[in-house]
Amino acid sequence: MTAQFVVLGLLIVLSGLFSSSETALFSISKTKARHLAKSGGRASQMIFRMKEEPHRLLSTILIGNNLVNIGASSLATAVTMQYFSNNAVGIATGIMTFLILVFGEIFPKTLAAQHNVAIGRVVIMP
């Protein structure tokens, strides 16, 4: 059961990573990205190139985020059904909705909006 909670925590962290990546990279203006690319650095140049073709990156981020969120919800449901009863599935759904919203969406996106360039440089690297 401990391993399942560790995996669940990891999935929520990955959800936050995908969400913060989306916000950080797409909140950098094209003008800012051009300026960053001129000032050097491989990450800054990659951000500028991403601004030229954003749909590929956005698709990847959204697919990854959805897979992670679905995986987390599925795992939480399986754990609930295994250790509790089917009646507790609604409670698990409510808890997972809260956890994903706060730690997988709201907090990471707020942080990424405030530090978009720094986070963008980290997450853009392969």
Per-residue pLDDT of the chain (126 residues; tens, 9 = 90+): 789 999 999 999 999 999 999 999 999 999 999 999 998 899 999 999 999 989 999 999 999 999 999 999 999 999 988 888 778 888 888 999 999 999 999 999 999 999 999 999 999 987
pLDDT at 87: 80
pLDDT at 86: 76
Q: 36 lies in which domain range?
A: 2-123
pLDDT at 67: 98
pLDDT at 36: 93
18: closest CA among 62, 74, 75? 62
Sequence-ordered list of residues with C-beta below 8 angstroms from that of 52, at least 6 positions apart, any chain? none
pLDDT at 84: 84
**Residue type for position 29:** S
d(CA 117, CA 55): 19
d(CA 126, CA 8): 24
Contact predicate 121/41, CB 8 Å? yes
First to last CA, the chain: 33
pLDDT at 51: 92
Provide the number of structural domains found in the chain: 1
